[in-house]
Amino acid sequence: MNASHRRQVWRRAAGFCEYCLLHQDFDLLPHHIDHVIARKHNGPDTEDNLALACVNCSLAKSSNIAGRDSRTGQLSPLFHPRAQIWNEHFRWKGPLIVGRTVVGRVTVAVLNMNRPDRVVLRRLLIADGVFPPPFL
């Protein structure tokens, strides 16, 4: 992936993880450039297949492109930040991210978006008035 793509991904995301919406300023480790469709699954290095992801979301997602919904048993693709709108698939319940759709529920589960340490961090950021992001 070239430097131009990297800059564009960071600029487009404005420093926010495009999955859990945590800003880089609130994370200890640098965010990653994620292949929405992993190279392993023939995902290209194009801007429409790249997203900014915090380390937690990136490592949990890995090369996964789908998961099974615990409610319906249905196999579903993960959320695609370039092709889908966050608010259509997720909502906030305090510091928790809740899936509104099968795609949302599967993504929350596969990316382990409500890990206890992340929930605690989001709770603290909410108390400080700096979370969730202002664009929601």
What is the number of domains present in the chain?
1
pLDDT, tens only, 53-86: 999 999 999 999 999 999 999 999 999 999 999 9
Classify residue 133: in a domain, yes or no. no
- Please give the model's pTM, rounded to 2 decimal places: 0.95
Classify residue 136: in a domain, yes or no. no
Classify residue 38: in a domain, yes or no. yes
Asked if residue 122 has pLDDT above 90, the reply is yes
Across the strands, what pairs with 108? Answer: none
pLDDT at 136: 62
**Cis previous bond, 77, omega within 30:** no
Domain range holding 50? 3-127
Across the strands, what pairs with 77? Answer: 66
Classify residue 134: in a domain, yes or no. no
Classify residue 132: in a domain, yes or no. no
pLDDT, tens only, 3-54: 988 999 999 999 999 999 999 999 999 999 999 999 999 999 999 999 999 9
Asked if residue 135 has pLDDT above 90, the reply is no
Classify residue 76: in a domain, yes or no. yes
Q: Residue 102: left if φ>0, alpha if ψ -120 to 50, beta else—which one?
A: alpha
Who's near 52: CB < 8 A, 6+ residues apart?
9, 10, 12, 13, 15, 16, 17, 18, 31, 32, 33, 34
Amino acid (1-letter code) at residue 44: P
